[in-house]
Structure 1
C-alpha cells in the first residue's frame, strides 16, 4: 500500500496539480516516484494528476527507453476564469522564483545540542 510521506489536514494555497507541474518543470525526465516524494503524495495520486494534466492539454509525454520525457504546454491559460489571462508559464515563473529564494540548507535548530566534533 502506498503512503504519502506525511499527511496534511486542511487547505493549502497550492493545489497538488500545481505542485506536480512544478516538479516536472524542474526536471522533465523525473520519475513518478520522485515527483511523489517531492510533493509528498502517493505515486497513484501523481499518476492521476499527470493524467488530468494531459487530458487538460497542459502536459504531454513521450517514452524514451524506459523513461518518460514530459513537455509542458507553457502558453496554456490557467483553468479558472478568475486567473485570466495568466498562463502556465506565469505560474511556473512564480513558483520557480519562490523555490529559488528558499535557503538551500535548513536553519540550525536553536534547541539542538552542539556537535562535540565540530569546532566553533
Structure 2
C-alpha cells in the first residue's frame, strides 16, 4: 500500500476519533431510544439512516448523536471523499424508496435533519 494511502487512512481515523472522543458507543436501539423515540420517529427510519451513513462513510458511527452536523463537526467526511454526500443521498433514496431533491439534501445538515427528511418522505409512522 502506498505511503500516501496509509497516511490518508491514518488521518481519517484520527479525525473520526477526535470528533467522537469521550462519547459512549450506542447500539442502534439505544441510539434510537436516546435521541429519537420521544420525537416520534420510527426505529426503522433511524436505524436505516444510521446504517446508510456508516456504510457510505465507511466509518463506525456508534458514537453519533442527533445534533452531529455534516456541515460543521463532521464536515471532514467530505474532504476524504468528495462524492460521499452524493453517495449518501443516493443510498438513502434506494434504501427507503424515496426521492430527495438537491435543495432538501443541501438543507439537511444534522443527523436529526436527515432522519426527519427521510421520515417525512417515507410517511412511516413512529411510536407515540
Q: Does TM, scored on the shorter chain, surpass 0.5? A: no
Q: Which structure has the greater CA radius of gyration?
A: 1
TM, length-normalised to structure 1: 0.30
* Higher RCO structure (Cα 8 Å, ≥6 apart): 2
TM, length-normalised to structure 2: 0.29
Normalized per residue, the structure richer in strand is: 1
